[in-house]
Chain A
Amino acid sequence: MDALEIARWQFGITTVYHFMMVPLTIGLGLVVAVIQTLWYRTGKPEYLRMTKFWGKLFLINFIMGVATGIVQEFQFGMAWSEYSRFVGDVFGAPLAMEALLAFFVESTFLGLWIFGWKQLKPGVHLACLWVAVIGSVFSAYFIIVANSWMQHPVGVEMVNGRPVMTDAWAVFTNNTALVAVPHTLFGALAVAGGFLLGIAWYHLWRRRHDGIDTIGADGKVIPGEAAGILGRDRADHTVWIRSLRIGAVVAMISFAGTAVTGDLQGKLMFEQQPMKMAAAEAACHDGTGFSVLSVGNVGAKNCDDIVAVIEVPGILSFLAKGDFTTEVKGVNSLLDEYQAKYGTTLPDNPIYGDRAGQQIQYVPVMEVTYWGFRMMIGFGGVAALAALVALWATRKGTVPASRGLMRLAVFGILAPFGANAAGWIFTEMGRQPFVVAPNPDPSGIDQVFMFTAAAVSPGVSAGEILTSLVVLTSIYAVLLVVEVKLLVKYIRGGVASAMPELAHAPVDENEDGTPRGGPGKPDDDVLAFAY
């Protein structure tokens, strides 16, 4: 493998890994903020417990997103210096704004939230979480603006062979970004919904299994208490059933949201990146049908190898254009167009190194685009359907006693993660061979595109990039194990694991209910909550 391929693997691995943490951070952050708001307004103790428990898991995950996010920013310059030089004038701005206007807010106010339980008034403390969460949404916006410019460059002019920003408004209201942002946010909420649903199901199941909750003659649950286990009381049942329902509702709403925004994205993709659309369908010939299942080798460039087993006529047209009769161009006719417009071989330019003169592969890796597209929709749909079933199955106040169903709910947590990853892999791999895809719109800008083959750092050796690939991937693997281990520990711990005050309340209070230990100890719990 040469430096280019290794660098692509590294970027892909880092990005997909980073984007396992990020959707959970964004989605769970929003959910915890809503729950804490409920607590603030109603004062009900179960909402405080939910805030603390889900907040703890949120923080365990948040830090991993932070740690891997730094790699994201550095590796543009490290491994993709030609890319950075080419796009810096327009691409650097949203990245810098992300740090200055969003990530600062997120990090600072999250610190205030973690440590400020006692130092801040409840309303201010809650506001800090909201500000942090809104910061994370803005963070997503700026990053997607940057990414969308790679999918659909706008707002620039070519000056001395480099795109120069001339219209910031166009860059920051790129229609590609305006639909990708809500799509990504709904995707993040879907992750949070599944997370709440699976974990709450596990706890409810275990309460039944341990004989704490029983079923009455009318089939309804009778919540009970476990003597000797802190926090395993009646309120604990409320915590989990409410979390489960919130999770299920969030999962369903967010699936609907991803479907609507995804449909808008499909229509833009048809206009802006027709080859990606054709590759999503592995369609060699022009047509209107959407294949639910194709057999044969979808990666083969020979169309006779691909046979659509189940094909629904008209659906592809609907995805692309909103009617049932538009012919969507297949790979074959697009290939001719792309070759006519952008050449058949990589230009004889030193930035291509040994790759100059090579044949340009305009067709993305279709195994990836075809199945990535279907995995995204499939995982998302299955999770939403499961959420609906879960709501119905828990209508009497608890989950069925079945161990198999419990396992399904727990492993179902992974489905929205899979949908997110598949969607991003599809959209990034589908853009190849371009790192900046050309804007085919007649009003688009000539020559503003870049082949991925030209983007890699010319001065960096394959050995260096391979070193970083091996080092970072190993660290990611180890840290993933650590994170999951910690999450499992705190999930099993239940609410008491996130609430030292639950443990210390009876011990630390004098008979009149005032804290024992004098004025020196008022924020014991706060420090224990944090570090």
Chain B
Amino acid sequence: MELLPTIWFVAIAVLWTGYLFLEGFDLGVGMLMKVFARNNTERRVLINTIGPVWDGNEVWLLTAGGATFAAFPLWYASLFSALYLPLLLVLVALIFRAVAFEYRGKVDNPRWRARWDWAIAAGSFVAAFGVGAALALTTTGLPLDANGDREGGPFAWFSGYAVLGGFAVVGFSLLHGLGFLALKTDGEVRHRARAWFVRLLPVLLLPIAGWAVSLQLLSGEAWTIAAVVAAVVAAVLAWNFARKDAEGRAFLSLGAFLLLGSASIFGAAFPVVLPSTLDPAFNLTVSNASSSDYTLGLMGIVACIGLPLVLAYQAWTYWVFRRRVSAAHIPEAHSFLPAIAAKALAPKD
């Protein structure tokens, strides 16, 4: 087994885990805009808990994608081209979601806000589902030919695993979002989020557990099976902490669940990065899909410098905005008399 490609496989697993941990809760909060928040003030509470950080969290996706391109170009090329339409949906979802956060409050009009609320909720759902489906399929396989190209047309990627992976990330994100709200808000929203967290934990973690277990059945090893068991323990701990109002510990336990679950999934998949369902000889693996050692070494140095820095300043951001947000903090919408009345560009006035 070559050393550098293996390290980079671990690095990419870490980047995806970091993405799911961080963007997981802001995707969850996004989905909760429609099903959880009861009025405009509560929606603004929700948005403002993730306001300063969601964009930084999303860069984890770009970094995971970019690192896959740099370290495993053949993996990147086969996975992204095979999943053309689902990834298009993810892109559309991310575009609307990003723009919605910024534009929602820019016009003081309920219809305007309602539209962007839908964009946030649906965008978060579709993005979470699509990323989950793509990740599940890269562990369970796609119909790839010898060149790594998809056979069987635009929907040949579809399988039960795509649905399972989609719901896995949606469910985890929803739960993680509830845990985050319990940690970051105060008052009514905080209590309701905690109650929902306790009540919904078993249901919301079921699909991700199903994905982890099915991968153990396909290609598990002793240590990855142990990781699944440990993840279940972490989930029970999270549930127990949340019940006892220890929101911080519940949040961290769910983080441990994700870490262990993702280790069990990526660990079981290793050394295959993208199996071919047509012929195992076409499997893309850590060794046959990777870049040269020179490039991997260079990127390794860059990652060793860059990643700790990212973690440090992102941690600092969370420290700066550590205060809980509550409905009492939300000011009136800013209305103003425009300096220039509309139609100023009209020919005569």
Question: Do A and B bind?
Answer: yes
A81 near B80 with CB under 8 A, answer: yes
Report the bound CA distance from A120 to B313 in whole Å. 14
List residues of chain A with CB within 8 A of the CB of B233. Answer: none
Report the bound CA distance from A109 to B58 in whole Å. 14
A99 near B62 with CB under 8 A, answer: yes
Report the bound CA distance from A262 to B243 in whole Å. 65
B59 near A78 with CB under 8 A, answer: no
B336 near A230 with CB under 8 A, answer: yes
Instruction: Tell me whether A73 and B65 are in contact in the complex, defined as CB-CB below 8 angstroms, given that A63-B99, A111-B53 are known contacts.
Output: yes
Report the bound CA distance from A71 to B95 in whole Å. 9
List residues of chain A with CB within 8 A of the CB of B340. Answer: 202-203, 206, 491-494
Taking chain B's interface residues, is the majority helix, strand, or loop, or is none over half, making it mixed? helix
B66 near A100 with CB under 8 A, answer: yes
A165 near B294 with CB under 8 A, answer: yes
A88 near B74 with CB under 8 A, answer: yes
List residues of chain A with CB within 8 A of the CB of B333. Answer: 528
List residues of chain B with CB within 8 A of the CB of A165. Answer: 291-292, 294-295, 298
Quick one: closest A residue to B332, CB to CB?
A: A528
A528 near B331 with CB under 8 A, answer: yes
User: Does A479 touch B at the CB level, under 8 Å?
Assistant: yes
A contact residues, total (Cβ < 8 Å): 102
A486 near B107 with CB under 8 A, answer: yes
Instruction: Tell me whether A95 and B69 are in contact in the complex, defined as CB-CB below 8 angstroms, given that A88-B77, A107-B56, A112-B320 are known contacts.
Output: yes
Minimal beta-carbon separation of A509 from chain B (angstroms): 15
User: Does A170 touch B at the CB level, under 8 Å?
Assistant: no
List residues of chain A with CB within 8 A of the CB of B72. Answer: 88
List residues of chain B with CB within 8 A of the CB of A93. Answer: 70, 295, 298-299
Minimal beta-carbon separation of B132 from chain A (angstroms): 16
Residue of A78, A88, A105 touching B84 (CB-CB under 8 A): A78
Minimal beta-carbon separation of A78 from chain B (angstroms): 5
A468 near B70 with CB under 8 A, answer: no
Quick one: closest B residue to A109, CB to CB?
A: B313
Quick one: closest B residue to A502, CB to CB?
A: B336
Report the bound CA distance from A74 to B83 in whole Å. 11
User: Does A34 touch B at the CB level, under 8 Å?
Assistant: no
User: Does B307 touch A at the CB level, under 8 Å?
Assistant: yes
Residue of B52, B67, B103, B314 touching A96 (CB-CB under 8 A): B67
User: Does B110 touch A at the CB level, under 8 Å?
Assistant: no
A496 near B336 with CB under 8 A, answer: yes
Mark the stretch among B43-51, B168-176, B189-197, B206-214 that contacts chain A: B43-51
A531 near B47 with CB under 8 A, answer: yes
B56 near A108 with CB under 8 A, answer: yes
Q: Which of B178-211 contact A (CB under 8 A)?
A: none
Minimal beta-carbon separation of A161 from chain B (angstroms): 13
List residues of chain B with CB within 8 A of the CB of A68. Answer: 95
Instruction: Tell me whether A70 and B94 are in contact in the complex, defined as CB-CB below 8 angstroms, given that A93-B299, A100-B306 are known contacts.
Output: yes
Quick one: closest A residue to B152, CB to CB?
A: A459
Mark the stretch among B143-151, B218-226, B244-252, B259-267 that contacts chain A: B143-151
Contact with B along A438-479 (1 / 0, CB 8 A): 000000000000000000011111011101100110010001
User: Does A277 touch B at the CB level, under 8 Å?
Assistant: no
User: Does A115 touch B at the CB level, under 8 Å?
Assistant: yes
Minimal beta-carbon separation of B91 from chain A (angstroms): 5
Most chain B CB atoms below 10 A, which of A79, A236, A500: A500
Q: Name B's A-contacting residues (CB within 8 A).
A: 44, 47-48, 51-56, 58-59, 61-63, 65-67, 69-74, 76-85, 87-88, 91-92, 94-96, 98-99, 101-107, 145, 147-151, 153-154, 291-292, 294-295, 298-299, 302-303, 306-307, 310, 313-314, 317, 320-321, 328-334, 336-342, 344-345
Identify 18 residue pairs between A and B in the complex whose beta-carbon atoms are under 8 Å apart, listed by A's number. A70-B61, A76-B76, A79-B81, A85-B73, A89-B295, A93-B70, A100-B66, A104-B63, A108-B56, A110-B55, A206-B344, A461-B153, A492-B341, A497-B339, A520-B328, A528-B334, A530-B48, A530-B52
Closest 6 CB pairs of A and B: A88-B73, A77-B80, A494-B339, A459-B149, A92-B70, A92-B69
Q: Name A's B-contacting residues (CB within 8 A).
A: 59-60, 62-64, 66-71, 73-74, 76-79, 81-82, 84-85, 87-93, 95-101, 103-105, 107-112, 114-116, 119-120, 159, 164-166, 168, 202-203, 206, 228-232, 236, 350, 407, 410, 457-461, 463-465, 467-468, 471-472, 475, 479, 482, 486, 489-497, 500, 503, 520-521, 523-525, 527-528, 530-531
Additional A-B contacts beyond A93-B299, A407-B345, A460-B81 (10; CB < 8 A): A77-B80, A93-B295, A98-B66, A104-B310, A464-B154, A472-B88, A492-B338, A494-B340, A497-B338, A531-B102
